[in-house]
């Protein structure tokens, strides 16, 4: 059973010809409203694959919070750990220009109020889980409290996004730490190295039991004490990479919980991420296990 501890955001998306400057107003397209946030995305991705999944998160007592709860329940996620109130639901204000580039302002709202105390109050959910998956759109001290509450034998997965330097206590618990190139560079600081193998080696030296570096259309690299292994990408016609990392991480966490090796779980996760990039959106792009089997390679 998988527990995702993380963020839930309402994504408010407007297409614009160009972005407004200071003091300026521009007219945009009709508003699109989507459930998002890395925690909510991971939980939906795992549940859609068939994983028994629970979400521990905080949303506001408002329409966006209800949208997020509805999308979790529709995917089959156990929402008994979703706390309500304390601040408005987190939102991401997203403008997309004609070249497809995004500008995003995030208001963390209720995500910033998911506290260490909330984690202690939900300790039964944490100890009941085989795998706990986290990201950094909630306070780092809250993630650290998750680490302290782990039962021996529970596997802890962290995608440090948005990235920041991590305390040794959190790094030591990661099995694996999952990063893309940008996240690897921020976590490592100055001397990151030049290749994914070097990043993985330097990250392992910081204490995690294993590391996964995701490389977009180049696939991924997994590394633990037995050395690095490349996981090739599945070749697909990509249309929108939003949500690829979240679905990859969710799939990997679930397969690890089912007893697969890191390399096996990453190969499955690469198939899930590949399907996600062939479809528009984040949660809307996540496949079922059947769709992962029927993948269209190019
Ligand atoms: P993030 O969104 O966190 O930067 P990536 O872009 O590396 O993460 O994507 C996560 C995983 O999804 C990759 O490791 C890869 O397996 C898969 N993936 C991403 N983009 C593509 C693509 N264009 N073609 C095939 N697989 C992809």
Q: In this predicted structure, what is the pLDDT of residue 6?
A: 98
Q: Is the pLDDT at 90 greater than 90, yes or no?
A: yes
* ipTM, two decimals: 0.98
Nearest protein Cα to ligand 1, atom 14? 214
Q: Whole-angstrom Cα distance, residue 21 to residue 7?
A: 30
73: pLDDT strictly greater than 90:
yes
Pick from 205, 196, 258: nearest CA to 229 = 196
Q: Is the peptide bond before 166 cis (omega within 30 degrees of 0)?
A: no
The reply, when asked if residue 237 is annotated as ligand binding, is no
Q: Which atom of ligand 1 is nearest to the CA of 249?
A: 10
> Is residue 272 helix, strand or coil?
helix
Q: What is the pLDDT of residues 13-36, one digit of tens each?
A: 999 999 999 999 999 999 999 999
Residues 128-142: tens digit of each pLDDT? 999 999 999 999 999
Q: From ligand 1's centre to the CA of 88, what distance in Å?
A: 31
The answer to whether 215 is a known ligand-binding residue is: yes
201-207 long-range CB contacts below 8 Å, 24 or more apart?
A: 201/228, 203/177, 203/179, 206/166, 206/168, 206/171, 207/168, 207/171, 207/172, 207/174
CATH architecture of the domain 2-6+37-88+111-293 equals: 3-Layer(aba) Sandwich (3.40)
The whole-chain average pLDDT of the chain stands at: 97
Ligand 1: centre distance to CA 122 (Å):
32
Q: Which residues are the active-site residues?
A: 246
227-284: per-residue pLDDT in tens? 999 999 999 999 999 999 999 999 999 999 999 999 999 999 999 999 999 999 999 9
Ligand 1 center–CA 161 separation, angstroms: 15
Rounded mean pLDDT, 47-70: 98
Residues with CB under 6 A from ligand 1: 180, 214-217, 219-220, 233-234, 236, 238, 241, 244-245, 248, 270, 273-274, 277
The rounded percent of the chain whose pLDDT value lies above 90 is: 96
Residue boundaries of the structural domains of the chain: 2-6+37-88+111-293
Q: Is 10 annotated as a binding residue?
A: yes
For residue 296, pLDDT over 90 is answered with: no
- Lowest mean pLDDT, pick from 54-58, 96-100, 190-194, 200-204: 190-194
Question: What is the distance between the alpha carbons of residues 150 and 135, in angstroms, rounded to a whole number?
Answer: 16
Ligand 1 geometric centre to CA of 16 (Å): 26
Rounded distance, CA 277 to CA 250, Å?
A: 15
- Give the neighbor-by-neighbor strand order of the sheet with 9-15: 32-36, 9-15, 90-96, 102-107
pLDDT range class, residue 80, cuts 50, 70, 90: very high
Residue 101 pLDDT: 87
Phi/psi for 158 (5° steps) reads -130, 130
Residue 260 assigned to a binding site: no
Closest by CA position to 137, among listed 224, 261, 41? 41
> Cα Rg for the chain, rounded, in angstroms?
18
Selection from 10, 108, 125, 133 nearest residue 66 by Cα: 10
Structure tokens belonging to residue 104: 């995003």
């Amino acid at each position: 059973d998988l527990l995702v501890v993380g963020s839930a955001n309402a994504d408010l998306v407007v297409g614009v010809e160009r972005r407004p400057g200071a003091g300026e107003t521009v007219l945009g397209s009709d508003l699109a409203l989507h459930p998002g946030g890395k925690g909510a995305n991971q939980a939906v991705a795992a549940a859609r694959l068939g994983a028994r999944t629970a979400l521990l998160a905080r949303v506001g007592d408002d329409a966006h919070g209800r949208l997020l709860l509805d999308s979790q329940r529709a995917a089959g996620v156990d929402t008994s750990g979703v706390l309500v109130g304390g601040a408005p639901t987190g939102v991401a204000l997203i403008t997309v220009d004609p070249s497809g580039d995004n500008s995003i302002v995030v208001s963390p709202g209720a995500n910033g109020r998911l506290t260490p105390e909330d984690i202690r109050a939900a300790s039964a959910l944490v100890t009941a889980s085989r795998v706990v998956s986290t990201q950094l759109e909630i306070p780092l001290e809250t993630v650290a409290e998750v680490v302290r509450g782990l039962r021996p034998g529970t596997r802890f997965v962290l995608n440090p996004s948005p990235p920041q330097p991590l305390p040794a206590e959190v790094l030591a618990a990661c099995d694996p730490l999952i990063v893309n190139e940008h996240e690897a560079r921020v976590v490592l600081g100055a001397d990151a190295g030049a290749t994914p193998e070097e990043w993985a080696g330097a990250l392992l030296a910081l204490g995690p039991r294993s590391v996964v570096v995701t490389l977009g259309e180049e696939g991924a690299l997994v590394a633990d004490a037995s050395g690095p292994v490349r996981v090739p990408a599945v070749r697909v016609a990509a249309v929108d990479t939003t949500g690829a990392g979240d679905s990859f991480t969710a799939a990997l966490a679930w397969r690890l919980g089912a007893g697969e090796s890191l390399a096996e779980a990453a190969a499955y996760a690469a198939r899930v991420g590949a399907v996600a990039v062939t479809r528009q959106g984040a949660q809307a792009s996540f496949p079922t296990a059947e769709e992962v089997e029927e993948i269209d390679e190019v």
